[in-house]
A and B are shown apart, each in its own frame.
Chain A
Amino acid sequence: MAEKKEKKEKIPRQPMPEQKPEIRRRNFEEVPIGYTPETAMLEASRCLQCKKPSCVEGCPVQVDIPGFIGFIKDGDFTGAIRHLWTKNSLPAVCGRVCPQEIQCEGRCVVGKKGEPVAIGNLERFAADYERKNGSGDLPPKQSPTGKKVAVVGSGPSGLTVAGDLVVKGHDVTVMEAFHKPGGVLVYGIPEFRLPKEIVFSEVNFLERLGAKVECNTVVGRTVSLDELFEEGYDAVYLGVGAGLPRFMNLPGENLIGILSANEYLTRANLMKAYRFPEVDTPIPIGKDVVVLGAGNVAMDSARTAMRLGADRVRIVYRRSREEMPARGAEIHHAEEEGIELFLLTNPTKFVGNEEGRLTGMECLKMELGEPDESGRRSPVAIEGSEFHMDCDLVIVAVGSGANPLLTQSTPDMKLNKWGYIEADPETGKTTKKGVWAGGDIVTGAATVILAMGAGRKAADSIHEYLTWGW
């Protein structure tokens, strides 16, 4: 009897409907299809509405999770999004790309004895519902303070700062070097994980709130940091990201057919080259594709190559599966789509033909040695294990560093030995007066939500500064 009762009461976590792998591997449409209102309300009813919710502690921008889920449970979807906006100006993005399993959902009490509440899916639902059916009403804003803030870079951290400060009544201008705002949300994360229409809609929300967005502005070239202060800005936030691609520095790396993941993804996502020749930017189509690296950017690159029509896509990584830095869900999605993991392998040289086009690479098999400083077991080459691997397209996704374009022209701001900006981890203050920084340009390449968390802290600190001074 007891068992029967338990089954009746317990609602299982509502699965997210998805496009089938054999279909989606060749299209650029979003993989998860999204909850219906009914599913969302059912899933929301699983939340225990904890008095001291540990899920909120797991969220880098401290969204009031039981609060917004409560609105969804009652069918008040407009109430849910307005509640979300008080803490997060990019909910449609976060619901899609946050690693919830190690953040909010990782702390969910329901998850201790089963599956956690699908917080990310619910956040996404609320944002999508508002975009499609919402009233367009904006959250309240404080009266103008007369203070001007320049936000350099329109990626996740910059957009968070802009959203927070504009609501507090400041005059905010976001400056973006590319011709479209969004940073990595637009050039890096593919359409099938984060439709660009959603990013532009989130940016448009900020513009309707009163933030100005100036594209085609390369701070460090079009205008210098000091000139921004001369133009009357009271504070500057630097959220320029870690957009300098790393290469392997191997012989033959400049052969045609070897691209950084940044270039490959920028062509595909920002320039929409997957629609070539309807659009004018071409992209190399590989038949036998190798992606070097095993982070989320590598997964995005591999899945893009598959969608562009590759016969075979291999992820080549020098360590084993356990050490792969990509999220489990991303690796799972990639494998479902037919992408192969080729592990414990390291290229030593790229080989090309007379035209300078890539035809393959020379590789070594690796084995794992002792753990290094970071605790990961370091790969060691196996002697005599040289072998050749044919490929016609290599995408290098082995990480990125700090782009020196801006910091080079700002000598009075302290950088660390890798070229990242030194900023107070609690406030985002840099060593230059009136300048804050956050996101990947401070920490090195990390996640969207960590960049947003850094933006939140910096926005609070900038607001204090504009209100009270140092």
Chain B
Amino acid sequence: MFKIVRREEMAEGTVILNEIEAPLIARKAKPGQFVILKANEEGERVPLTMAETDSEKGTITIIYMVVGKSTAIFRDLKVGDEYQDVIGPLGKATHLENVGNVVCVGGGTGVAVLHPITRGLKDVGNHVTCIIGARNKDLLILEEQMKAASHDLRVCTDDGSYGRSGFVTEELKDILDSDKDIKLVVAIGPVPMMKFVSKITKEYNVKTIVSLNPIMVDGTGMCGGCRVSVGGETKFACVDGPEFDGHEVDYDELAKRLQAYSEDEKKCYEDYCALENA
């Protein structure tokens, strides 16, 4: 069992942070890696990339948006409650190397995944510019932490309620126009956002890394549920990724595959909400 030692509500309670006791995972985890969590006996296995790990305290931190039944069950866990199963660290760690000037782009809860990678890239000596975005000011997360993890933080909101008005891609374009020496872009967020970031960086011929979030079951390479097309080849995101060359990913296929169980998911969530409200 894996006890929750800290819990925070972010972004109007739609985004939740859990710090969980998992000493074996905390000891080994590196930026970019994920865990699989299962709340209880009847629960499903849910993959989430770690936002933080503390090897001394023996804890890992996950940040997730409540989008369906499983994340709603996670949300309802209090400090002192336990996850029945936490498995990890899984996936390949981010390749951290000093390449010079780097831009990290995060959207929605992708910012949580981006955070340890940004800090890692800064720690190895890169100059890191960071762009984070959300639909509006209240949904923005980890602004302070991202500021500390980078040299220069830019904020965008779709509705202009905070920072620059518009999408992160517009800010990215401006940076790429003004600084011809960007060597790497890391983009983590919703599939359309990663798709458009990759489209832009391709025009500027800047290497781009994205972190993919397909449906997973085991997370250890034994089922292929998480398969994605990268450069025309099938890869398993859980063992070959989750990070891939953004210019090679088939985003449309990924977006479709993420809808495989949409009806079941919707029904499950509605039933759970109805039960909670009853």
Q: Which of A177, A216, A271, A279 contacts B86 (CB 8 A)?
A: A216
Interface residue total, chain A, C-beta cutoff 8 A: 40
Known: A222-B28, A254-B257. A271 touches B217 (CB 8 A): yes
From B45, B253, B257, B267, contact of A281 by CB (8 A): B45
Q: Is the Cβ of B234 less than 8 Å from the Cβ of A247? A: yes
Whether A256 lies near B259 (C-beta < 8 A) is yes
B36-44, B109-117, B185-193: which one contacts chain A?
B36-44
Contacts A179-B38, A277-B268 given; indicate if A243 touches B70 (C-beta within 8 A): no
Asked if B217 and A263 sit within 8 Å, CB to CB, the answer is: yes
Give chain A residues whose Cβ lies under 8 Å from the Cβ of B245: none
Would you give the 0/1 interface string for A196-227, flagging 1 where the beta carbon is closer than 8 Å to chain B? 00000000000000000001111001110000
| Minimum CB distance partner of B254 in chain A | A254
Contact of B222 among A257, A279, A284, A403 (CB under 8 A): A403
Q: Contact string, B55-88, partner A, CB cutoff 8 A, digits 1/0?
A: 0000000000000011001000000000011111
Residues 182-233 of B contacting A (Cβ, < 8 Å):
217-218, 220-225, 227-229
A215→B73 CA distance, assembly (Å): 22
B217 touches A221 (CB 8 A): no
B177 adjacent to chain A (CB < 8 Å): no
**Given contacts A177-B87, A277-B271, A282-B261, is CB(A262)–CB(B224) below 8 Å?**
yes
Residues of A within 8 A of B88 (CB): 218, 221-222
A12 located at the interface, meaning its Cβ lies under 8 Å from any Cβ of chain B in the complex: no
A112 and B183 CA atoms in complex are apart in Å by: 76
- A403's nearest neighbour on chain B, judged by CB, is B221
Q: How far is the CB of B1 from chain A (nearest CB, A)?
A: 10
Report whether B257 and A223 are in contact in the complex, using a CB–CB cutoff of 8 Å.
no
Does B223 contact A263, Cβ atoms closer than 8 Å? yes
Secondary structure dominating the interface of A: loop
Interface majority SS (helix, strand, loop, mixed), chain B: mixed
Given contacts A244-B221, A262-B222, A280-B42, contact A218 B87 (CB under 8 A): yes
Q: Which residue of the partner chain B has the closest CB to A177?
A: B220
Least Cβ distance of B88 to chain A in Å? 7
Q: Closest Cβ of chain A: how far from B133's Cβ, in Å? A: 27
- From A178, A254, A267, A282, B265 is in contact (CB under 8 Å) with A282
Q: Given the complex of chains A and B, what is the CA–CA distance between A260 and B236 in angstroms? A: 12
14 A-B contacts, Cβ less than 8 Å apart?
A178-B218, A218-B88, A222-B25, A243-B222, A244-B221, A254-B253, A256-B256, A256-B257, A262-B222, A279-B44, A280-B73, A282-B268, A356-B257, A403-B220
Beyond A179-B85, A216-B85, A272-B42, 14 additional pairs, beta carbon < 8 A:
A179-B87, A221-B88, A221-B89, A221-B220, A223-B28, A243-B220, A245-B224, A254-B228, A254-B234, A262-B223, A277-B268, A280-B43, A355-B256, A403-B220
